[in-house]
Amino acid sequence: MKLKVYADRMSQPSRTVLIFCKVNGIDFEEVKVDISKRQNLSPEFQEINPMKRVPAITHGRFKLFESHAILIYLASVFPGVADHWYPNDLYKRAKIHSVLDWHHSNLRNGTVPLVQNAALNPALGLPLNLQAAAEAEKNVSSSLSKIESVWFRGSGKFLLDESQPSIADLSLVCDIMQLEVLNEKDHSRILGPHKKVQQWIKDTKYATRPHFDEVHNILFRAKARLQQQRSRVNANDEAEPSLKATSQSKM
C-alpha cells in the first residue's frame, strides 16, 4: 500500500513531512493541496482531513493528520528509518515528545503570526499588521533563546545534544525557515543574536541534503518575489517599514 502525502510546500509542517520521506527513502506520492486556491476546504480533502489542514497522509485505508503525529507514525512503520529520527530508547523518545509539545505552544505560536502579519498579508490583499508582528517577534525571540539555553547546553550538533537529527530538529528548523520571507532587516535582527540556532539550521540542512533545499525552493522563490514587491513599493514610497521601527515608535 502506497503512502500519499497531502501537502502544500508553502506550509512548514508540509515541508517537514516531505523532507522526512525523501531523506528516508520512503516511497510516497505527493498530492498537492493548494491552500492559496482553498483546495484544503474542498469536500474531497475533508474526506482525508476533516480539520481542513495540511499535511495529512493516507496509507492504505489509514488516514492521519497533524505533522508531529505523522512523523512519529512514519518513523515507526517504515523499517528503513534510522533510529536517531525517533529513538527506541524511552528516555530519548520522551525528550523528543517534550520538545515537540513545547513547539506547539511556543515557537510555532510566534512564527505563524509573525510571518502572516509581517510578510504574507499583502500577498493576500490584507494590510501589514506590524503591531501584531512585533508581539509575535517577541515570542519567536524568546523561543529561540530558550532553544539555545535548554537544548544546546553541550557540544552536540542537534537538539538535546545529539550528534544526529531527530524529527524534532527537522520540525523546528522547518518552522524557523519560514522566517526567510521576512524582509532582510527583520530577519537579521531576529536570527542574528542566535548563533547556535544559525549553526543548527546549517547542520540540519546538511544532514538532509539535497532534499532540504529542494523542498524549500518554493519558499526561496516566494522570498524573492516578496523582495521585488517591497523594492517596488519602496521606490514609490519613502522607506521600507520594519518591525523594529514600529515597536520603537510605540515606546
Q: Which residues bind a second copy (CB under 8 A)?
A: 50-51, 62, 64-69, 72-73, 76-77, 90-91, 93-95, 97-98, 100-102, 104-105, 108, 146, 149-150
Q: How far is the CB of 15 from a second copy (least distance, A)?
A: 17
Q: How far is the CB of 109 from a second copy (least distance, A)?
A: 8
Q: Is 52 or 211 the residue whose CB approaches a second copy more closely? A: 52
Q: How far is the CB of 213 from a second copy (least distance, A)?
A: 27
Is residue 99 classed as helix, strand or coil in its secondary structure?
helix
Q: How far is the CB of 69 from a second copy (least distance, A)?
A: 4
Q: How far is the CB of 242 from a second copy (least distance, A)?
A: 28
Grid cell for residue 226: 516578496
Q: Is 50 or 193 the residue whose CB approaches a second copy more closely? A: 50
Q: Is 15 or 68 the residue whose CB approaches a second copy more closely? A: 68
Residue 241, preceding bond cis, omega within 30 degrees? no
Q: Is 97 or 189 the residue whose CB approaches a second copy more closely? A: 97
CB atoms within 10 A of CB 94: 10
Which residues have C-beta within 8 Å of that of residue 86, sequence separation ≥ 6?
A: 71, 72, 75, 76, 93, 96, 166, 167
Please say whether the beta carbons of 82 and 68 come within 8 A: no
Q: How far is the CB of 131 from a second copy (least distance, A)?
A: 15
Q: Is 146 or 195 the residue whose CB approaches a second copy more closely? A: 146
Q: How far is the CB of 66 from a second copy (least distance, A)?
A: 4
With vertex at residue 221, the alpha carbon angle to CA 217 and CA 224, rounded to the nearest 5 degrees, is: 140
- The per-residue b/e assignment along 18-52, b for 16 or more CB within 10 angstroms, e otherwise, is bbbbbbbebebebbebebeeebbeeeebeebbeeb
Q: Is 33 or 75 the residue whose CB approaches a second copy more closely? A: 75
Distance of CA 43 to the CA centre of its chain: 26
Rounded distance between C-alpha atoms, residue 18 and residue 4, angstroms = 10
Alpha helices in 32-116, H assignment, sequence order: 43-48, 67-77, 90-105, 107-115
Q: Is 40 or 67 the residue whose CB approaches a second copy more closely? A: 67
